[in-house]
Amino acid sequence: MAVVHYCIEAADLHAHLWRVKMTISHPATQQILSLPVWIPGSYMVREFSKHLQKLECRQSQRKLQVEQLDKASWAVASDGQSALEVSYEVYALDNSVRSAWLDSSRGFFNPTSLCLMAQGLTDEPHTLELRKHSSSKHWRVATGLPSIKTDKQGFGLYGAPNYDGLADYPIEMGEFWSGEFLACGVKHRLVVAGAMPSFDSARLLKDTQKICETHLQFWHQKGLNSSKNLASKTPFSSYVFLLNAVDDSYGGLEHRNSTALIAARKDLPRVGDAKTSEGYITLLGLISHEYFHTWNVKRLRPVEFTRYDYTQENYTHLLWFFEGFTSYYDDLLLRRSGLIDDVGYFKLLTKTMNQVFQTPGRLVQSVAQASMDAWVKYYRQDENTPNATVSYYTKGALVAACLDLSLRQSTPVTLDHIMRGLWVRCKAGPMQEEDLLEVLLEQTGRSWRKEIKAWVHTTKDLPIKELLVKQQLQVLEEPAQMAQRLGVRTVDSNGAVHIKVVLRGGAAEAAGLCAGDEWLGIEVGNLADGQAWRINKIEDLLHLLSDQRKMTAIVSRDKRFLRLALTLPPKTSTLRIHSANRKTNPGEAPWL
């Protein structure tokens, strides 16, 4: 048993309670205990302590005084001699990858939700014992956490060199499907909980293997023909994908040798269905994204994340690099692994471009500012989010695309070389924006400061269209959907159109439509004609307006009816990348 030891078991499956018994072998006389308020990779204060209850501390059977210091920390007066026994329960019914879950079919947790930190001892070795629950005897355990002594099912003792090491390993339990493969000689395990009987596990396993091999070669062996054994070069000796399939959800969280994923069951491949659905591509993109993070944010990481502070927000200007460049490569490496074709890739890039160009907030915040504000903006979205901020995922991905295409069009190097150069320069550790600029200068012989400044630190639109055209692609402009033309985002329900977002500078804003309005109908032409119509969905306007552009919107706001004069703007457009006429010159660097 280490200096800090946790024993974790399901206390009550139906009450969704984990029981934790923590033992501190050499406590301080005033031992502070605290629970993280956030989990690295998800930049929001989530207050995990709200689910912690029945905290009790004992020393040699004697109950100790516990004083609560703030929302997530407690002080325990101990004799400073004998072992301190701490016990508590944690309520777990969050189906996301970020905290904890427990019911009769499955258990899952991140140590950041269940394991109190013993302040002053977080650099000491930590051990964790997982105990079997009497009514879940057939459950198995899946985790990247190094085991010390475990049974065949994975229950038993695990260890980490410090709290930080422990916190980075989510743990899955249940009767899940599990498969294994080697990618470039490195052992990988894929675990899927909640899948339907029709789940084509062999296909997902094979496709995940292709993704992993493409990534491993990208980081460690690009340019060499043999991809057999990279085990000595990879920063991890094994890797685990923990995928939870549910009715409808999407998300992932990266860790040093594992990832927790959640996806919709309908997006899993099905036996006998060889088609590649859009949902399945989204799932493969998620797998690719989180796996890329194993290098780009878990090892190469913002200098501010050298050591996480679990008690408060950890700020960085660099999420455009760590999330944006990862988003650029997640799809690009799907293309390189052969899981999607050029048309499929350009469809994904088109989507990203439209998301950025249709967000008015891109003219309000730079991606560097959006990174800093992630804690209160990206992760706390509301009706004003598209007007106030820009996604460092999507715009960051386009910054990567602009940089890659600019490099390819004017130098012998590509962004691939720059990424590997950063990996070497920063020794797979903390980096700053200056490191990127230095690697760019070293490898191309010229400064890229001006471009990075314009793309990352200003709100000027990115030159992505021009760069794609230079790559012999066409960027077509096609008529926008009705909602985009009007400058609204809506949801149709209960027979009416509900306004969720009114975009800055759009026709809907000019007319006075407001988020929260229920749009019931329109009047067109002269009211004496009785031309008032109910609408159920926004596309109804197409038929009702015909070639007219002026209407009166009838909306309900706070139980009152409003009549708002609204003019449909002349046709606006969305972008589409067209690759049919693309010619590849002999010897041209293969972008895709």
Residues binding Zn ion (CB under 5 A): 323
Burial call 109-130: b when 16+ CB within 10 Å, e when fewer: bbbbbbbbbbbebbebbbbbbb
Q: Which residue has the CB atom at the shortest distance from Zn ion?
A: 323
CA distances, 268 to each of 77, 193, 217, 334 (Å): 52, 12, 26, 16
Give whichever of 213 and 323 is closer to Zn ion, judged by the CB atom: 323
Closest CB 220 distance from Zn ion, rounded Å = 21
As a whole number of angstroms, the distance between CA 396 and CA 403 comes to 11
What is the smallest separation between the CB atom of 26 and Zn ion, expressed in angstroms?
39
Name the residue nearer to Zn ion (CB basis): 201 or 249. Answer: 249
Dihedral of CA 448/407/463/373: which sign? negative
Q: DSSP H helical segments within 480-589, as ranges?
A: 482-486, 507-511, 540-545
User: In terms of CB distance, is 97 or 100 closer to Zn ion?
Assistant: 97
Q: Is the dihedral of CA 378, 297, 367, 401 positive or negative?
A: negative
Cβ atoms of residues 367 and 324 within 8 Å? yes
Q: Name the minimum Å distance from CB 326 to Zn ion.
A: 5
Which residues, 6+ apart, have CB-to-CB distance to 363 below 8 Å? 459
What minimum distance in Å lies between the beta carbon of 254 and Zn ion? 6
How many Cβ atoms are within 10 Å of 220's Cβ, its own excluded? 18
d(CA 233, CA 4): 32
Minimum separation from the CB atom of position 281 to Zn ion (A): 17
CB of 8 to Zn ion, least distance (A): 28
Closest to Zn ion by CB, 294 vs 337, is: 294
Considering the complex, state which of residue 153 and residue 314 has its C-beta at the smaller distance from Zn ion. 314
- Name the minimum Å distance from CB 81 to Zn ion: 46
Task: Using alpha carbons, list the distances in angstroms from residue 92 to 68, 173, 264, 387.
Answer: 22, 13, 21, 35
Q: Are the C-beta atoms of residues 101 and 139 closer than 8 Å to each other?
A: no
Cβ proximity to Zn ion: between 73 and 296 the closer is 296
CA angle 501, 356, 435 (to 5 degrees): 130
Contact 440, 448 (CB under 8 A): yes
Render 115-180 in DSSP notation, one character per residue. --EETT-TTS-EEEEE---TT-TT-EEEESSPEEEE-TTS-EEEEESSHHHHHT--EEEES-EEEE
Q: Which is nearer to Zn ion, 18 or 322 (CB)?
A: 322
CB nearer to Zn ion: give 168 or 323: 323
Compare residues 267 and 323 and give the one whose CB is closer to Zn ion.
323
Least separation in angstroms between residue 164's CB and Zn ion is 20
Count Cβ neighbours within 10 Å for each residue of 46-70 and write b for 16 or more, e otherwise. bebbebbeebebbbeeeebeeeeee
The DSSP output letter for 461 is P
Q: Please state the separation of Cα 55 from the chain's center in Å.
A: 32
Integer Cα distance of 306 and 65 in angstroms: 35
CA distance 237 to 242: 17
> Residue type at 411?
T
CB of 246 to Zn ion, least distance (A): 20
CB of 323 to Zn ion, least distance (A): 5
Q: In this structure, are residues 247 and 183 in contact, taking their beta carbons and an 8 Å threshold? A: no
What's the min distance (Å) between Cβ of 327 and Zn ion? 7
Q: Please say whether the dihedral angle defined by the alpha carbons of residues 492, 486, 327 and 393, taken in this order, is positive or negative.
A: negative
Instruction: Kindly state the smallest distance separating residue 374's Cβ from Zn ion, in Å.
Output: 11
- Closer to Zn ion by Cβ: residue 323 or 517: 323
Nearer to Zn ion, 323 or 416 (CB): 323
